[in-house]
Amino acid sequence: MSRIGNNPITVPSGVEVSIQGNVVSVKGPKGELTQEVDEKLGLEYAENVLTVTRSNDEKDMRAKHGLYRALIQNMVVGVTEGFSVQLQMVGVGYRAANQGQQLNLSLGYSHPIILELPKEIKVEAETKKGEAPLVTLSSHDKQLLGMVAAKIRTLRKVEPYKGKGVRFLGEQIRRKAGKTAAK
């Protein structure tokens, strides 16, 4: 029994949900998202409550039941409230700046890294004196936001000895002790 899949999704006022076959579209004040759902799953929308049902109890269907319910819930939350991720650039000389949809990063390489971000993502880079640069990404699409944040993070992975690199704000890094001096 899927606990997540069985929970109903309450749709707030101001959000339109339309179901055509196995495609769910959610439209709200922050944008519009669509998701294709497995054809073996059933979707029922009545009185601002959306429920996802499954046809059988096979292991694959139980997994998809919870997955698609969570994806649709993220779509509803995204078009009403939105999501945001903050990335911190920890290291000497690491800088971040943005011009529109371009993110310009200096991460200790011999050249700056310039990323062109999708139009669905809003980016804001801020640098305070004495603190690590902070990049804030926000969007209504949680999947796209996670993919872009992961891509930026792979540009300079956090190393365990000094803790330098790109990390999520508040992320705990497992630190290792360095070599000890020989006697």
What's the pLDDT score for residue 5? Answer: 84
- The pTM assigned to this predicted structure is 0.87
Quick one: pLDDT band at residue 3, thresholds 50, 70, 90?
Answer: confident
Query: Per CATH, the architecture of 83-168 is what?
Result: Alpha-Beta Complex (3.90)
What's the pLDDT score for residue 181? Answer: 64
pLDDT digits (tens, 9 = 90+) for 125-182: 998 888 999 999 999 999 999 999 999 999 999 999 999 999 999 889 999 988 876 6
* Domain ranges across the chain: 3-80, 83-168
Judge whether 94 and 158 are in contact, CB under 8 Å: no
Measured CA distances, 17 to 28, 82, 164 (Å): 9, 17, 44
What's the pLDDT score for residue 4? Answer: 85
Give the pairing type, strands 16-20 and 83-90.
unpaired
Write the burial class of residue 180 (CB in 10 Å: 0-12 exposed, 13-18 middle, 19+ buried): exposed
Rounded to whole angstroms, how far apart are CA atoms 132 and 147? Answer: 22
What's the pLDDT score for residue 111? Answer: 95
* Nearest-10 Cα torsion for 109, 111, 112, 118: -100
Q: Within 10 A of 13 (CB to CB), how many other CB atoms are there?
A: 6
- Section 37-58 average pLDDT: 90
pLDDT digits (tens, 9 = 90+) for 73-125: 999 999 999 999 999 999 999 999 999 999 999 999 999 999 999 999 999 99
Q: Do domains 3-80 and 83-168 have the same CATH topology?
A: yes
Measured CA distances, 177 to 156, 159, 160, 166 (Å): 21, 12, 9, 20
CATH superfamily of 3-80: Ribosomal protein L6 (3.90.930.12)
Q: Can you spell out the DSSP letters for 100-122?
A: TTEEEEE-SSSS-EEEE--TT-E
